Amino acid sequence: DTTLLQLMNSAFVSLSQITYSCNGAVRDMLCDDKGCVFIAVFGAHSHEVNPCFDATVCAMRMKDALDELNFERFSLGVSFGECFCGEVGPSIRADYVVMGTEVNMAARLMGKAPNRGILASKRVYTNSKKFILFRQSEHLKVKGKDGFFHAYIPEARAFAPSTSIIDDGNLSDSPEQPFILLPSREYEMTKMLRALHEAEVSIPKVLILCGGPFLGKSRMISSLSENAISANFTVLQSFRTSLDSFTSYFPFRQITLTALLMCASKLLGQVTDDEVAAIEMLIENKILTKTDRVVLGSILPTVSDSQLLSLLKGQSTTALTKSISDTLIKLFVPLQPIMVVFEGDGEIDPSSWSVISEMQQRAVVECSRLLLVISSRNVLTIPSAVSHLQREAEYAKLTPLDKYETEIYLEVLLGVHDKGIGVDQKLLDAVHDRANGCPSFIEYIVSWALGKKMIEYDEGKNVMSFNLPVTQSEDVAAAIPKELSSIVLASFNDLPAILWDVLKIASCIGFSFDENAYEALDENLDFMPRVKTLAATHDVFERIDGHRYKWKHQAVYEAVKSLLIGNQRAQIHSMIVDVFEHYHKNGHFSNMVKCDLHRLFAWHCTLAGKWDAAYNQYMEAGKRAEETYNFPEAAKMYEEAISSQKKIDPLPLLRSRLLPTVKLGNCLRELARYNDAEEVLKTCLEEAERAMKKSDADEQMYVHSLTALAALNQAQSKYNEAKELYEKALPIARNLQESRTSLWLAVHIAGYAETLRKSGDLPTAETLHWEALHIRSCSANEGACTSLELAISYTQLGCTLFGQKKYEEAYKQHRLALKTRFEYLDFSHGHVSESLNYCAEALCSLGRAADGIPLAIHAVNIRKVVFGTSHPAYAHALSILASCYHAVGRSCDARDYFEECLSICEAVFQKNHANIIPNLMNYGKVLCSTGDYEKAKSVFQRAIVIHKKNFTEGQRASELETCQSQVQELTEKIESNTKALQCASVCERNMPIPTVDIKKKGTPIIVITDIGRDVDDEYALVLLASLARMHLLDPIAVVATLSPQRERAYLARGVLDILGFPNIPIGIGSCGGAKGKAGLDVYSAEYSRSCSCIYECGVELMARALSASPGKSV
């Protein structure tokens, strides 16, 4: 009978919905020849509500629903008591069952109930009579129960049904106590206060507080914070959500945000809650730089944009760690003394550990009044790279209270401490055993027992003891519920169902959450307003800042979370996903960062078991992370996407299978994890090649796989392997992408061009780079490519042109890159230094080395700060500065810089790396000019050996020919003139006097200065440089006088070099009669530099300058 079948389906759907809305679960729906039975269970998986009340209301609503469906015969029975709940049966055919006497009683009551009526047991009546009006039934007798008894018929709610949020019930009834310094805590607190005091007197410390859940870590930190604030410390605290485990630097997000706002307020008097406005004000007042803004973008994406964040691409993790530490210290210094707290159970990502380590080491000098506090549930897993923290940190460890401490705490909670009143031994044993030594649980047990009037003062024994019925007096422990969640949540038993829904949703979201992230739940569920209601009326949640909340009590959070079984959690996450999807389609989520939005989607999809959606959202989150050059996070997203993909049935198409793997490989390459990247990408390429032989070939995916592995090989200087892969990929890519604005194609073309450039095929590389530049320029005009990305094309093309000795064209491209970068960045940025470097190199080759030296000096200084003195980028800047000095005749200075450059390269690069060859060749030329032919010959011979190890015949042939030619010439010189074996150091003593030409250069002038004492002398040299460029004056010598005259000569040398006059000789004058006198020190300047070309005798320099000039002209 289809009509009957449809009616039964409608009934089951309606009854199921009613059950879930009343906090119940559907146990079974059975049909047989006797009829149909619907079984629902309440309280089997939770303690959040009064299950008798819920079950009775559910039965009343079911009766109404069945009446509306016009069922002629039905009855309902409700019973309450202990039952067996659990999984029964073998793994291949297991089922979750609820069975026992009370299940049978419910069935018997259902059978005895009148048609279209309800019968409830006495226990149900007892627990629900405050809220529901009952009528007593006639005497009944049922199978399995002796004698007659009354059942109860529910008739109506005892008050008018209302969906409004009530404010009765208050968690503060639990004895939330102030901090109690128990004996085992006293020693640990002393250590913590000692660390605070040391930070106060400029001894920076790292404090690690460990201990299991509910042992009082938060209270210890809260007490320490109160002491810190009393000592005028600034206290900054981290904030963590469930999603933050995916992200790099997540512990620093809230800390950095708060520090930004506080700095703007303290230093500028500008109170704002907008981090973008705060950072703009700090930059405008030169407290921070544009570079700092880029760096902070890796922690707070909201303060930067894609144009600036693109500059983080390719930056080593070590350099980024240093940059982040630099910027954070700038923010922390004005807020000293400062205490920074990292809470979150020790879940700190490796990148953040590196920053903590860097800051701890540098704080001694740069931010000495700093205390870093790290809270952890377990023993911290500190990465090996920063293992020194384990040795240097101060440790405090919390353990469960022993019985003596439990007794003290009970006395405090019961208000009898120091009053001569004790605690009954049975009460002490029961509480200590059930609470497991956790102070929070002791509080909840005492609060619960006091609420039930179960604790009283025994005057005869002068102790506080349990007041139990005579039948239970001997079994004190049995009086306390075995499930502590029953005690923890006891004050919530009367909470309306709608507020329980909010608690359950919040427990699924996590211990802390962002209001903006879950604004979508407000539309149908009124989620955040109800969270705020629970925070205000029941003390469940607390606001961290403007839009972030967390559970106030960890125990309540854990208890609510434990009530939900797996399928209930999945249903809640599924509901959240549905709401998010609807909300997203309507273009909302304006307050969320896109990457966070997709990460949030993906996380909920995973927990809901929606693997297709999870895969798509993780891919989108990875893409967003890549766009902000956050490669650690992007790699994590792609790993999650791959994991989700494996659970999709049936398996997705080839492209969907391989795309996350390729992207993961690219991210690992950017992170310099070359071995991991190679393993991932080779596997991917093999699968793509197998597919190309079948009908499901995906050519675009094949190109992706080829070029990803090619880029990896290029990064490792495996140019032949990279070239072969690109030659396979590019023809296919050109066929697939005919658009002249295809950035996808431009990236592959530029990648191939760079491989060719580095392997020596410069003409082909130039052609390809011009093509890539044209595509990117068109894309930039359409807004698809940023100006800073365009600067990369200018730089790559400039390097290619330079390699072909097209110096003028190369200089033009590098200057375009410099102009573009300087438009967006400050002068101290690493990318600006790159363009300065290449411009200096091009000027040197154009015969304008004197103009190139100031640029090269700035590049060296920037890279020294940004990358450190052991980085290849710093070595490259030194080599270009050395080449410029060599070009203006200061070969001995050039030699010193080349030797420093080579020492860095030898330490950083693998043995016989191809990148060392140009530096060796230039070093050899400098040695030739100083007369050290023997050493120069050995340098060129080593360059030949390295070349042959890295390149095949014909590759970069001009380099090899030059080296071989130099070796031959040097061999002949050594054989023909043995005197040349000694190093001629004439250049060190006899830097030539510039040619004097009064008509073209102006009046020759000799300057005698005590530079370094006051800035006026330095200003005078700046003015002199301007007059020289106007051809009014022609400086031919500078002599530094007044003790310490050598340091003054070094400063004068640096000033003239930075002004573009490296060929003016410097001499050391007299002490001016002030040798050894105090107050004559030279002020420091980063451009002050020692120089082997300085004249030791200033008088000799002056005599030579006068001799080289026409009479009476100087």
% residues pLDDT > 70 (the chain)? 88
Q: Is the model's pLDDT at 47 over the cut of 60?
A: no
Average pLDDT of the chain, as a whole number: 83
State the pLDDT at residue 588. 58
pLDDT of the residue at 739: 54
Question: What residues are paired with 542 via a beta bridge?
Answer: 550
Contacts of 871 (CB under 8 A, 6+ apart): 316, 319, 863, 904, 908
Most confident of 334-343, 743-752, 1088-1097: 334-343
How many Cβ atoms are within 10 Å of 994's Cβ, its own excluded?
18
The set of residues, in sequence order, having a beta carbon less than 8 Å from that of 743 and lying 6+ positions away, is: 775, 776, 779, 784, 785
pLDDT band at 985 (very low <50, low <70, confident <90, very high): very low
In the structure, what pLDDT confidence band is assigned to residue 243 with cuts at 50, 70 and 90? Answer: low
At residue 566 the predicted structure's pLDDT band, cuts being 50, 70 and 90, is: low
Q: Are 355 and 342 in contact (CB under 8 A)?
A: no
Task: Decide if pLDDT at 570 tops 80.
Answer: yes
Pairing of strands 84-88, 95-99: antiparallel
Residues in the chain: 1114
Question: Does the structure show a pLDDT above 70 at 982?
Answer: no
Read off the pTM.
Answer: 0.60
**Residue 979's pLDDT band (cuts 50, 70, 90):** very low
Identify whether the C-beta of residue 66 lies closer than 8 Å to the C-beta of residue 74: yes
pLDDT at 788 over 90: no
CA 884 to chain centre: 41
- Three-state DSSP string of 370-408: EEEEEEECCCCCCCHHHCHHHHHCEEEEECCCCHHHHHH
pLDDT at 227 over 80: yes
Q: Could you tell me the pLDDT band of residue 592, with boundaries at 50, 70 and 90? A: very low
For residue range 344-372, what is the model confidence (pLDDT) as tens digits?
Answer: 655 677 788 888 888 888 888 889 999 99
- pLDDT for the residue numbered 983: 43
Residues 629-667 pLDDT 10s: 677 788 889 999 999 988 888 877 878 888 999 999 988
**What local confidence, expressed as pLDDT, does residue 59 receive?**
92
Q: What is the 3-state secondary structure of 757-771?
A: HHHCCHHHHHHHHHH
Question: In the predicted model, is pLDDT for residue 32 greater than 60?
Answer: yes
- Residue 395: pLDDT over 70: yes
Is residue 37 helix, strand or coil? strand
Taking residues 176-190, report their average pLDDT: 68
Q: Is the pLDDT of residue 325 over 70?
A: yes
3-state secondary structure of 270: coil
Helix (H, G, I), strand (E, B) or coil at 1: coil
Q: What integer pLDDT is reported at residue 954 of this predicted model?
A: 79
Residue-wise pLDDT for 67-95, tens only, equals: 888 888 899 999 998 888 877 877 677 77
Dihedrals phi, psi of 341, to nearest 5 degrees: -110, 125
Q: Per residue, what are the HEC states of 542-588?
A: EECCCCEEEECCHHHHHHHHHHCCHHHHHHHHHHHHHHHHHHHHCCC
Residue 685 CB neighbours (<10 A): 21
220 pLDDT band, cuts 50/70/90, is confident
The pLDDT > 90 percentage for the chain reads: 24
Q: What is the pLDDT of residue 165?
A: 26
- pLDDT computed for residue 826 by the predictor: 74
- Greatest mean pLDDT among 551-555, 812-816, 1109-1113: 812-816
270: number of Cβ within 10 Å = 15
Q: Is the pLDDT at 483 greater than 70, yes or no?
A: no
